[in-house]
Amino acid sequence: MKHFRTLLIMLLSLIALSTPLFARGGQSSGSSADGRVSLSAVFITHELTRDITTFTWLKELEQKAGVSVKWDQSSADWSDKKAALFASGDIPDMIFGGGAGGSDFSVYNGLFADLVPLIETSAPNVRKMFSDKPEIKAMVTQLDGKIYSLPQYVNYPVPVVPSMLINKTWLDRLNLRAPTNWDELKAVLIAFRDNDANGNGDKTDEIPMDFIGMGGTWSPAPLIGALGLPYSNGSQYFVEDGKVKDMFFDERYRTFMLFLRDLYAENLINREVVTHDYGQYQSIARGNGRYAKVGFTFAWTPGDRVGEELADQYIPIAPLKYKANSAYTVFYSDDRQMQNYILDRWSLSARTRDKEAAMRFADQFYDGVNAMQAIYGGITDGFVQQNSDGSLEVLPPSDPAMNAGVWKWTNGFVNNTPAYVPDYLKVTFDSDMVVAANSRGPYMEALKLYNSSNTWPLALKYSSEDNQTLAMLEADVGSIRARWAAWLVGEGNIGAEWNDYVKSAQDSGLNRILAIHQKAFDSYLQSMK
């Protein structure tokens, strides 16, 4: 069974390369009753996003471009159906929101249209973006000079995405200080567990620590910076002294997992942390709106994580040291690239009949005003206001009890949209973004300690052969990385299994993966000179 996933991907790839592409994209382009070009699209949506066919701003963009789009809104099920869909060639004209990217353009060769000629003829806003920001064009251009997807760019004022939050009300009630190292964190979590920290008379309903997944946005991975590992851009890959490494097979990760295992064994981590999804993660932290449930967690802002009623109880804390006597060489999480540049937000089927019409539509999202509407919701619907001087202002939620972060994900495409908001466009961001920016003070000293040459770049370039190799090897190595979940809950012994765990990854292709990434990283460094 070890190589089953690898063989499946190889089979799907062969099917994709050999099967005629009778895609929906090749059949759908036509004319609607009002004379507009008919197109199909899939939008990879956030769980909170309502029915996008009700978005007035989206209908307005369709009308401006002379198209009528049949939308398929997909969320959690996309990853399950993507491989089979791509292998069959039966894809819609347009894919929004990260549904296609990375190795897809190599593995499913011929499935996606090269956008370069279309940008020249039908995308003046995209051309302007490339002129304003040449690095964006470099990011999206493949080694062969082709472009298969378009990105999002917004200059957000937040250098790190995940804030490390602790309940200050609980600390004060128990006469505790915010922790400064791992040992102090454990001591605080024990106090949260044992002392009715939320004050509701029930000593069993507190969850001292909660997170979701490992290595993702709301995982505890930033804590590993206490060991000197330069975590950046939400990737398990990192660079140290010019060498590409994988966090999951670094000796410091073993130390980190032993710490988390210890916390879980003492009932200091949510018992459902391995299985709960993002919705459950958000819901449980909000408690009943009066008594908080979670003491220590990872979030964008307190309001986004625990709701506005409980938000005032939480404060961000500075990155933790490993031990009290450890040197403060802590790095938290450098997300400046990831926050402002988001790749693969829009792709086009090679079988789309009217590619120019599809590109005209996509180009609408690269007008600054339209981009802000796509991210936050429409002007007509009262989500964004355009002032007489041309500036734009994101309006607060019409429901004062609604958190601004939840509000924007409900009414806009947010991070999932193609977009370009020029630096010179005067914008007042939502209160959620302002709160996030103002709460990142504790991380600024840690960021100063970070060597920018260790940043894992977002836009490394790979040959078609290397992309396909990565796609196949990552299936097996990825399943080995997933061992963290079993270790956390006490299945197996991290110390005894560690050497075999690393060797298993190496036997499954880890060294080849790192060599491919190293080659791409070295080429990236050369291109930046």
Task: Convert the pLDDT of each residue in 202-258 to its tens digit.
Answer: 999 999 999 999 988 889 988 998 998 887 777 899 888 889 999 999 999 999 999
What lies within 8 Å, CB to CB, of 412 at 6+ separation is 49, 55, 373, 374, 375, 376, 377, 383
What lies within 8 Å, CB to CB, of 62 at 6+ separation is 36, 68, 69, 361
What lies within 8 Å, CB to CB, of 527 at 6+ separation is 138
Q: What pLDDT sits at residue 375?
A: 96
For residues 433 and 401, give the distance between their C-alpha atoms in angstroms, rounded to a whole number.
17
Phi, psi of 232 (to 5 degrees): -155, 150
Residue 100 has pLDDT above 50, yes or no: yes
DSSP SS3 for 258: helix
Q: What pLDDT sits at residue 464?
A: 82
Q: What pLDDT sits at residue 497?
A: 96
Q: Which helix (H) or strand (E) holds 69?
A: strand 67-74
- Return the residue matching tokens 């996933």: 5
Mean pLDDT of 189-208: 96
Q: Residue 463: which pLDDT band, with cuts at 50, 70 and 90?
A: confident
- Strands 37-44 and 30-31: what pairing? antiparallel
What's the Cα-to-Cα distance from 344 to each of 44, 105, 420, 445, rounded to whole Å? 12, 11, 13, 32
Q: What percent of the chain has pLDDT over 90?
A: 61
For residues 315 and 335, give the distance between their C-alpha atoms in angstroms, rounded to a whole number.
20
Name the average pLDDT for the chain.
Answer: 89
Residue 10 has pLDDT above 80, yes or no: no
Q: What pLDDT sits at residue 76?
A: 67
Q: Residue 528: which pLDDT band, with cuts at 50, 70 and 90?
A: low
Residue 15 has pLDDT above 70, yes or no: no
Dump pLDDT digits (tens) for 128-159: 999 999 989 988 998 889 999 999 999 988 88
Dump pLDDT digits (tens) for 329-355: 666 667 777 889 999 999 999 999 999
Residue 495 has pLDDT above 80, yes or no: yes
Domains parsed from the chain with CATH numbers:
4-154+341-429 (3.40.190.10), 161-333+434-529 (3.40.190.10)
Q: Which helix (H) or strand (E) holds 527?
A: helix 510-527
Least confident of 107-116, 187-196, 231-240, 471-480: 231-240
- Global pTM value: 0.78
Q: What percent of the chain has pLDDT over 70?
A: 92
Q: What pLDDT sits at residue 19?
A: 39
What lies within 8 Å, CB to CB, of 248 at 6+ separation is 215, 236, 480, 481, 484, 505
Least confident of 17-26, 75-84, 408-417: 17-26
Q: What pLDDT sits at residue 30?
A: 62
13 or 81: which leads in pLDDT? 81
Contact 267, 205 (CB under 8 A): no
Q: What is the largest CA-CA distance in the chain?
A: 73
Least confident of 120-134, 409-423, 461-475: 461-475
Query: CA-based angle 46:347:93, to the nearest 5?
Result: 95
